[in-house]
């Protein structure tokens, strides 16, 4: 069947003329063909996207290979060996300090999260207890009312049973009407008791709210403590004469650095090794960290109410730590 015949039958179907089985099959084929064209187009776009990514990856791989080749050529010079060892020893100092800071900030963040969650749960439980107590008071009042009505009803029914004779006809009528009215009130009181019991049960089983994450104040507190820790690390490593040199390894490649003679490189390597050992063994001085954090908090300013990272110019010495991103401090700060 030609395409023209297919289109002719398709137009006939649209015009409302009787549709044969063959026409239905033809319509289905046209629909399948359109869907296949859409899928083919999507696959073609995906292919081009993957090819673009492959080209980018090939370019990155080529750059890395070029860097490795240059590094191999550079390391092949005997006179550069000690400088390379010193460079990578200083890189190790940076990684050790950054790891210690990351560990401190992560633990502090977890502790702050646990604290805020406990506070949230305490507030929720206190509010729930107060609401349960309100319902308990309503339950007590409703139970007392129901007991009173039932006692009155019992007495009224006993009295009604004792009223005999035609001369008590009016009394019996009035008392019977009162008994019937009281029965309605008793039913309402019992229904209220049931509803209040259900309310109390619902309150008791109400789950706590989900924790939406650290508050702005909580994130600010963690960030200030992390900055205080980074400042403390900088002072320790600056006293060892390796803080700024370690930072330079994050800004320059190995063949762009110079540390002097072989003896000077060996002395620098020894200082770096002692610094790493000191970082690994150091005990956190919590009193000093608290003092530093309080000092930062007293001057910290934020560009907006929702900001959690303070402006560097409001932090004095620690501000430079932030600007120069010592120990990859920005990676541990909570946004």
> Which positions ≥6 away from 292 have C-beta within 8 Å?
228, 231, 232, 318
Residue 36: pLDDT band (50, 70, 90) is: confident
Residue 12: pLDDT band (50, 70, 90) is: low
308 secondary structure, DSSP code: -
The reply to whether 88 and 156 lie within a common domain is no
Q: At what angle do helices 81-162 and 216-239 cross, to 10 degrees?
A: 150
The reply to whether 219 and 310 lie within a common domain is yes
Whole-number Å distance between alpha carbons of 132 and 125: 10
- Full DSSP string of 100-153: HHHHHHHHHHHHHHHHHHHHHHHHHHHHHHHHHHHHHHHHHHHHHHHHHHHHHH
The reply to whether 63 and 105 lie within a common domain is no
pLDDT at 22 over 60: yes
Backbone φ/ψ region at 302: left (φ over 0), alpha (ψ -120 to 50), beta: beta
What average pLDDT score do residues 8-32 get?
61
The reply to whether 312 and 248 lie within a common domain is yes
The reply to whether 27 and 141 lie within a common domain is no
Q: How far from the centroid of its chain's Cα atoms is residue 56's Cα? A: 32
Residue 82: CB atoms within 10 A of its CB come to 19
The reply to whether 221 and 318 lie within a common domain is yes
- Predicted confidence at residue 73, as pLDDT, reads 60
Question: Which among 204, 232, 260 is the end of a domain?
Answer: 204
Cα-based distances in Å from 169 to 162, 176, 251 = 12, 10, 109
- Full DSSP string of 199-228: HHHHHHTPPPPPP----HHHHHHHHHHHHH
- Predicted confidence at residue 20, as pLDDT, reads 62
The pLDDT > 70 percentage for the chain reads: 87
- Maximum mean pLDDT: which of 5-14, 29-38, 90-99, 316-325: 90-99
Task: Report yes or no on 94 lying in a domain.
Answer: yes
pLDDT tens digits along 282-295: 888 899 999 999 99
Task: Report yes or no on 210 lying in a domain.
Answer: no
The reply to whether 113 and 133 lie within a common domain is no
Residue 192: CB atoms within 10 A of its CB come to 17
- Predicted confidence at residue 14, as pLDDT, reads 54
What average pLDDT score do residues 301-326 get?
90
Task: Report yes or no on 312 lying in a domain.
Answer: yes
What average pLDDT score do residues 227-236 get?
94
- Predicted confidence at residue 124, as pLDDT, reads 93
Question: Which among 204, 239, 254 is the end of a domain?
Answer: 204
Cα-based distances in Å from 126 to 119, 123, 130, 208, 215 = 11, 5, 6, 11, 20
Question: Which among 178, 204, 230 is the end of a domain?
Answer: 204
Domains of the chain: total: 3
The reply to whether 235 and 327 lie within a common domain is yes
> Which positions ≥6 away from 90 have C-beta within 8 Å?
242, 245, 246, 248, 249, 268, 272
Task: Report yes or no on 153 lying in a domain.
Answer: yes
Q: How many residues are given for the chain?
A: 335
The reply to whether 103 and 235 lie within a common domain is yes
Residue 164: pLDDT band (50, 70, 90) is: confident
**Which pTM was predicted?**
0.68
The reply to whether 252 and 112 lie within a common domain is yes
The reply to whether 180 and 257 lie within a common domain is no
Task: Report yes or no on 209 lying in a domain.
Answer: no
The reply to whether 57 and 183 lie within a common domain is no
Residue 334: pLDDT band (50, 70, 90) is: very high
**Domain assignment of residue 51, given as a range:** 3-73
């Amino acid at each position: 069947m030609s395409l023209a015949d297919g289109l002719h039958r398709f137009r006939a179907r649209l015009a409302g003329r009787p549709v044969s089985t063959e026409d239905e099959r033809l319509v289905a084929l046209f629909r399948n063909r359109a869907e296949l064209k859409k899928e083919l187009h999507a696959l073609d776009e995906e292919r081009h996207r993957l090819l673009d990514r492959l080209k980018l990856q090939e370019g990155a791989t080529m750059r890395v290979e070029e860097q490795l080749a240059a590094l191999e050529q550079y390391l092949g010079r005997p006179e550069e060996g000690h400088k390379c060892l010193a460079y990578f020893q200083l890189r190790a100092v940076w990684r050790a300090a950054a790891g210690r800071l990351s560990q401190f900030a992560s633990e502090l963040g977890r502790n702050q999260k646990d604290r805020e969650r406990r506070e949230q749960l305490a507030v929720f439980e206190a509010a729930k207890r107060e609401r349960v107590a309100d319902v308990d008071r309503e339950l007590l009042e409703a139970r007392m009312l129901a007991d009173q009505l039932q006692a009155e009803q019992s007495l009224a029914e006993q009295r009604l049973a004792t009223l005999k004779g035609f001369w008590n006809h009016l009394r019996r009528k009035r008392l019977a009407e009162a008994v019937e009215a009281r029965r309605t009130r008793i039913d309402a009181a019992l229904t209220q008791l049931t509803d209040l019991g259900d309310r109390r049960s619902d309150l008791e089983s109400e789950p706590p709210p989900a924790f939406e994450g650290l508050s702005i104040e909580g994130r600010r507190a963690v960030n200030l403590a992390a900055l205080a820790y980074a400042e403390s690390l900088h002072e320790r490593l600056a006293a060892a004469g390796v803080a700024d040199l370690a930072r330079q390894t994050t800004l320059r490649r190995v063949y762009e650095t110079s540390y002097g003679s072989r003896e000077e490189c060996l002395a620098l390597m020894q200082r770096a090794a002692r610094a790493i050992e000191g970082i690994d063994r150091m005990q956190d001085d919590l009193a000093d960290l608290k003092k530093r954090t309080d000092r930062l908090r007293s001057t910290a300013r934020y560009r907006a109410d929702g900001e959690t990272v303070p402006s560097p110019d409001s932090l004095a010495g620690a501000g430079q730590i932030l600007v120069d991103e010592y120990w990859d401090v920005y990676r541990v700060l909570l946004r």
